[in-house]
A and B are shown apart, each in its own frame.
Chain A
Amino acid sequence: MAYLQKSPWLIHYDASSCNGCDIEILACLTPMYDVERFGIINTGNPKHADIFVVTGSVNERNKYVIKNIYDQMPDPKVVVAVGVCATSGGVFRECYNVSGGVDMIIPVDVYVPGCAARPESIIDGIVKALGILEEKRTAAVMGVTREQPAPAAPAEKPAGGA
């Protein structure tokens, strides 16, 4: 049974975003868009979450945090990069402290473009992610090992603090 698609709980992480996309994500929870009618809950706890929503470009300091949150989520899970900064680094791509988009650290399943991404396109992206989530679950049940793209940068926190 496909309960996963009917009850996606998400965790939202702000990786050096300007807060524009974060405001739009929170707008999805308001009575105007009310994503809870699809069973979507913003949990704030990676161990309860199915969808990892990241906003903003990843910098050298928080890539360990992103990797850590991702590793704490139980399978099956999907990652949605919201906003152009999360998809590629955006205008901050060339900054000395920016690693790039979220896909430099963890495998991303859905990219939602926009600056800032509109609530409609965020909801559209989450719905696309639900399809991928279900695919991952069936693959896991059938025993097929899905090909995971290797993260570009090894995210190991250096000893002695960064």
Chain B
Amino acid sequence: MISLVYAVIFILLAPVIGGLLSGIDRKVTAHMQGRVGPSIFQPFYDVGKLFEKDPAEVNGTQRFYVISYFVFAVFTGALFFAGGDLLLVVFALTLAEVFLVLGAYAAYSPYSHVGAERELLQVMAYEPIMILSAVGIYMVTGSFAVSDILAYPMLLVILLPGLFLGFLYALTIKLRKSPFDISTSHHAHQEIVKGVTTEFSGPNLGFIEVTHWYELVFLLGFTYLFFAANWIVGIIAVIIVFLLELFIDNTNARVKWQLAVKSTWAITLLVAIVNLAVLACVVVV
């Protein structure tokens, strides 16, 4: 059952919540590094600033890719929160990501191209576990519809602990946190250039930032799905997962892309397949 109301609420509220979470992220990160850090409203100031800047573009198609990235990321989240099909959600997220990569490839710049290639590697690394998570959830609940999954009476994480751990591993990539921030990273990390976002400036970069907020809220929503049977446990779990990601971000150095892809595949596929195999045996018995 698709609920348009929840989709509209997501579209309106997600940037507010996502922006505040990013602000909290920067504040907590600064405190972990012994600094005071900016205000928690800093991401809003940043995006406001970016929209005040001159709309400089390297070519005419770049804006199209940025807007497509934005639209499909919002569509992903809206479909998810409306209670839509989880597989379609995962595929729409990939499509959004592909538009970002195309936008980076549209510019004739080696830094941008390296960022785009690394972004593709990241997509390749986390995509299997996203689909396997959807499959595992289907095996338990018998439905891909988010609204049915929410109505399932048991905590999914009890039956799918391996998939949840694998999802957490991939979440670090999706949130662009160390050690897997290989295509681009956020806030006070010094970079030579800004990876996949190198060639975006002004309003285009602002759109990418807002899209990250939508993605952040969607990904935390996906995390909540594993605890959906009890909403108190679910919200506490999401907060813990968010703080855990910040902790991992601040205690790890960036790894090379080879290690990022290999370790993600090895670990996520191992835990996911063991989890699914056990689950299949239980279902048969």
Q: Cβ of B281 < 8 Å from any Cβ of A?
A: no
Question: Using a CB-CB cutoff of 8 Å, which residues 68-95 of chain A contact chain B?
Answer: 74-76
The interface bits of chain A over 26-39 (1 if a CB of B lies within 8 angstroms of the residue's CB, else 0) are 00010100101111
Question: Using a CB-CB cutoff of 8 Å, which residues 1-57 of chain A contact chain B?
Answer: 1, 3-4, 6-8, 29, 31, 34, 36-39, 41-45, 47-48, 50
| Residue contact B46 to A39, C-beta cutoff 8 Å | yes
Q: Which of B49-57, B92-100, B122-130, B252-260 participates in binding chain A?
A: B49-57
Cα–Cα distance between A36 and B38 once the two chains are bound (Å)? 6
B194 CB contacts on chain A under 8 angstroms: 43-45, 48
Cα–Cα distance between A54 and B55 once the two chains are bound (Å)? 25
A6 CB contacts on chain B under 8 angstroms: 42, 45, 48-49
Contact of B52 among A4, A31, A37, A42 (CB under 8 A): A4
Given the interface contacts A4-B52, A75-B53, does A41 sit within 8 Å of B187 by beta carbon? Answer: yes
Cα–Cα distance between A5 and B55 once the two chains are bound (Å)? 18
| Residue contact A75 to B54, C-beta cutoff 8 Å | yes
The smallest beta-carbon distance between B87 and chain A, in angstroms, is 36
| Residue contact A50 to B49, C-beta cutoff 8 Å | yes
A1 CB contacts on chain B under 8 angstroms: 48, 52
| Residue contact B42 to A39, C-beta cutoff 8 Å | yes
| Residue contact A7 to B37, C-beta cutoff 8 Å | no
| Residue contact B202 to A45, C-beta cutoff 8 Å | no
| Residue contact A74 to B53, C-beta cutoff 8 Å | yes
* Chain B residue nearest in CB terms to A47: B201
Given the interface contacts A4-B49, A34-B30, does A47 sit within 8 Å of B56 by beta carbon? Answer: yes
Q: Cβ of A137 < 8 Å from any Cβ of B?
A: yes
The interface bits of chain B over 16-31 (1 if a CB of A lies within 8 angstroms of the residue's CB, else 0) are 0000000000100010
B213 CB contacts on chain A under 8 angstroms: none
A7 CB contacts on chain B under 8 angstroms: 42, 45-46, 48-49
Main secondary structure of the interface of B (DSSP, over half): loop
Q: Cβ of B251 < 8 Å from any Cβ of A?
A: no
| Residue contact A31 to B205, C-beta cutoff 8 Å | no
B198 CB contacts on chain A under 8 angstroms: 45, 47
Interface size, chain B (Cβ < 8 Å) = 34
* Chain A residue nearest in CB terms to B55: A74
B45 CB contacts on chain A under 8 angstroms: 3, 6-7, 39
Question: Using a CB-CB cutoff of 8 Å, which residues 183-211 of chain B contact chain A?
Answer: 187-188, 190-194, 197-202, 205
| Residue contact A39 to B38, C-beta cutoff 8 Å | yes
Main secondary structure of the interface of A (DSSP, over half): loop
* Chain B residue nearest in CB terms to A29: B188
Given the interface contacts A41-B187, A44-B194, does A31 sit within 8 Å of B34 by beta carbon? Answer: yes
A8 CB contacts on chain B under 8 angstroms: 49
Cα–Cα distance between A6 and B201 once the two chains are bound (Å)? 18
B39 CB contacts on chain A under 8 angstroms: 39
Contact of A44 among B54, B56, B191 (CB under 8 A): B191
| Residue contact B193 to A44, C-beta cutoff 8 Å | yes
| Residue contact B190 to A42, C-beta cutoff 8 Å | yes
Cα–Cα distance between A81 and B221 once the two chains are bound (Å)? 47
The smallest beta-carbon distance between A18 and chain B, in angstroms, is 21
A75 CB contacts on chain B under 8 angstroms: 53-54
Cα–Cα distance between A4 and B55 once the two chains are bound (Å)? 15
| Residue contact B188 to A41, C-beta cutoff 8 Å | yes
| Residue contact B53 to A37, C-beta cutoff 8 Å | no
B54 CB contacts on chain A under 8 angstroms: 74-76
| Residue contact B56 to A36, C-beta cutoff 8 Å | no
The smallest beta-carbon distance between B146 and chain A, in angstroms, is 36
B201 CB contacts on chain A under 8 angstroms: 47-48, 74
A-B residue pairs in contact (CB < 8 Å), sample of 24: A1-B48, A1-B52, A3-B46, A4-B49, A7-B48, A29-B188, A31-B34, A34-B35, A36-B187, A37-B30, A37-B35, A37-B38, A39-B42, A39-B45, A39-B46, A41-B188, A45-B198, A47-B56, A48-B205, A50-B53, A74-B56, A74-B202, A75-B53, A76-B54
The 9 nearest A-B residue pairs measured at CB: A3-B48, A47-B201, A6-B45, A7-B49, A74-B54, A3-B49, A74-B56, A75-B54, A34-B35
